[in-house]
Amino acid sequence: MHIDYLLHLGDNALILGQRNAQWCGYGPALEEDLALANNSLDLLGQARLLYQHVAQLKNDGKTSEDLLAYWRDVPDFRNYTMLELPHCLALHPGAVAERDFAVTIGRNFLYSALMVLVWQALATSRDAQLAAIAAKSLKEASYHLEHARDWVVRLGDGTDASHMRMQAALAHLMPYTQEFFSASPMETAAAQAGVGADTSLLKTQWDGLVDDTVRAATLQRPASAGFVSTGKLGVHSEHLGYVLAEMQCLARAHPQAVW
Amino acid sequence: MNVHVAKDGSPPALKDWPLWEVFVRSKQGLEHKHCGSLHASDAAHALHLARDIYTRRQEGVSIWVVPSKAITASNPDDKPALFDPAADKIYRHPTFYDIPDAVGHM
């Protein structure tokens, strides 16, 4: 069963959606504020579909989308570490920083460039429900990629200050993209069953997307060497706990509450 | 670490980005209709933002954006001279003609 793989996809969408929603009310302009909120709602919708699918497959009478989103803890989440990081450059734990739009945009770009390829591959998954979710999500991811790519180029090819900040954001984020392509048992099993996408086969295309954009933005592509993060294995950075605390507190304070 | 982060709360975008008028064609509609305006740095950016702001609820299948400064508008002070003279000329409405039955619905 590919439950962990579906959770991996769903958790990616939920956690990045939650992160991007932190721009709500703080966007650089009202128009961009709405664009990021739209992005979050798309991701939340993807997470819901994937969690509902998990609940259906488990069919144990208790698993539900709410249970998966609100009642699991840090080690249960299978999202990429990059998606749980705050909207700022590297910090010591507990430090407070303001939102850095370049980090937000850089992350959305690197992630949606991957997901366009992943959803394309999953459109022919043997899991028909997953294939349908992929077909729907591909359109959303394509727009997210277009939106983020547009900003990477604008900021990179903009003023000296915006160029410097976009470059710093990419340097901060790029090492985390190694996790996109590192092997894991749940991904290998899902790919072998014809259900999941093998990201190692997508790397050349992803590199091409990144290189084209970085070049158009007059930026340098930073090296992606060093520590390989392990969020998809359930071993996360210190940041995910804070994200979950904020996201889950209401549901946990009022269990079983209904609208 | 945060030397780049603008500390003043004012959004510079609203001062720096020009205004654009947005026209959206709905699924059934033949013509693009004006639906609002937005601030964006250039035409491509304005199209992106128009998509996010004005077509979120499936309002449209096509978007036009036009720089607001490209629009020449009539002066509200000229309203009496421009429009009031038309008020008492009801014969300009084609309601005084007998339409033969053979013509059918017009």
Task: Give the distance from residue B70's alpha carbon to the nearest chain A alpha carbon, in angstroms.
Answer: 21
Q: What is the pLDDT along chain A (259 residues), one digit of tens a residue?
A: 799 999 999 999 999 999 999 999 998 888 899 999 999 999 999 999 999 999 999 999 999 999 999 999 999 999 999 999 999 998 766 667 788 999 999 999 999 999 999 999 999 999 999 999 999 999 999 999 999 999 999 999 999 999 999 999 999 999 999 999 999 999 999 999 999 999 999 999 999 999 999 999 999 999 888 999 999 999 999 999 999 999 999 999 998 888 7
Q: Which residues contact A12 (CB under 8 A, 6 or more apart)?
A: A78, A79, A80, A83, A111, A115
Q: Domain limits at A59?
A: 3-253
Q: Give the relative orientation of helices A203-216 and A101-122 as an angle to the nearest 10 degrees.
A: 150
Q: Find out whether A180 and A109 touch, Cβ atoms under 8 Å.
A: no
Residue A259 lies in a domain: no
Residue A258 lies in a domain: no
Task: Give the distance from residue A252's alpha carbon to the nearest chain B alpha carbon, in angstroms.
Answer: 31
Residue A55 lies in a domain: yes
Q: Do A147 and B14 touch (CB under 8 A)?
A: no
CA distance B60 to B27: 6
CA distance A50 to A61: 17
- The upper half-sphere exposure of residue A239, i.e. CA atoms within 13 Å in the direction of its Cβ, equals 24
Residue A64 lies in a domain: yes
Write out the H or E segment, with its range, that includes residue B33: strand B33-39
Q: Which of A198, A58, A54, A73 has the alpha carbon at shortest distance from A129?
A: A54
Set of chain B residues whose Cβ sits within 8 Å of the Cβ of A45: none
Task: Return the CATH number at A179.
Answer: 1.20.1260.10
> Could you give the ipTM of this predicted complex?
0.74
Q: Which of B17, B48, B53 sits opposite A150 (nearest CB)?
A: B48
Residue A74 lies in a domain: yes
Q: Which of A47, A43, A49, A191 has the alpha carbon at shortest distance from A129?
A: A49
In a 3-state reduction of DSSP, which class is residue A197?
coil
Domains of chain B (ranges, CATH numbers): 12-103 (3.10.20.520)
Phi-psi region for residue B58, left (φ > 0), alpha (ψ -120 to 50) or beta?
left
Q: How many domains does chain A have?
A: 1
